[in-house]
Amino acid sequence: MADGPARSAPRAAFEIIVNGAPRRVDVDLRTTLLDLLRETLRLSGTKKGCDHGQCGACTVLVDGVRINSCLSLAVMHEGQHITTIEGIGLPPDLSPLQRAFLQRDAFQCGYCTPGQICSALAMLEEVRRGEPSAETPDLGAAVIALTDAEIRERMSGNICRCSAYPQILEAIRDVAGAAG
C-alpha cells in the first residue's frame, strides 16, 4: 500500500549578492547559507567544520557583519551582500589581513583560516565603530584599546585545532597597528 505520491521539498528562488556579484539562486528552503555557497555557488573557501556553529570555520560577512553560515538559512539573506574569503582577496591581490596571516605564519593546516580572516576583518570594523566586547573595560570609551585580551575575546568564536593562536593574534595586531 503506497503512502501517496512523493512530494518535492519546497523551494525558493531569489537574488543574493555574493562577493559583489548578484546571483539568482533556486534552493530548497532548508538549505543553509554555507551549503548554498559551497554546493550551489561552488565557493569552497568557506569551510564546513562542525556544522553546529561552534568552530567558526564557516564564518562569512553578511552586510559586513560576521555570522556562522552553517546556522543560517540561505533564504534569510535575499538581497543581502555576502562576502566570503574569495571576496576578501585572491592571489595575487590579497588583502592586508591575508598578507599578515601569511607573513606571520598564522595557520598550519589552514582549514580554519578563511573563517579566522572573515571574523578578524569584521572584528576590526567593530572596534573601529567603538562596539564594546565583554573584555572592554570602559563601555563608554570613545576609542577601544585593542589589547591581546580584547582580540582573544572577540575572536573566541573561531577555533584553530592546530593552535596557531599566537600567530593569528600577531597578524591581527599587525593590521590593526597599520590601520590605527
Q: What is the dihedral of CA 136, 137, 139, 140, to 10 degrees?
A: -130
78 lies in the same domain as 119: no
CATH number for the domain including 59?
Answer: 3.10.20.30
Model confidence pLDDT, tens digit, residues 78-125: 999 999 999 999 999 999 999 999 999 999 999 999 999 999 999 999
Residue 28 lies in a domain: yes
168 lies in the same domain as 105: yes
pTM check: above 0.85: yes
CATH number for the domain including 150?
Answer: 1.10.150.120
Q: Total domain count for the chain?
A: 2
Domain of residue 100 covers 96-179
pLDDT in tens, the chain (180 residues): 566 667 788 999 999 999 999 999 999 999 999 999 999 999 999 999 999 999 999 999 999 999 999 999 999 999 999 999 999 999 999 999 999 999 999 999 999 999 999 999 999 999 999 999 999 998 888 889 999 999 999 999 999 999 999 999 999 999 998 665
Neighbouring C-alpha atoms within 13 Å toward the C-beta of 132: 9
Which of 32, 65, 88 lies at the terminal end of a domain, its last residue? 88
74 lies in the same domain as 123: no
Q: Residues with Cβ < 8 Å from 76, sequence gap 6 or more?
A: 33
79 lies in the same domain as 109: no
84 lies in the same domain as 100: no
Whole-number Å distance between alpha carbons of 53 and 14: 25
80 lies in the same domain as 134: no
Contact 179, 124 (CB under 8 A): yes
133 lies in the same domain as 75: no
Residue 3 lies in a domain: no
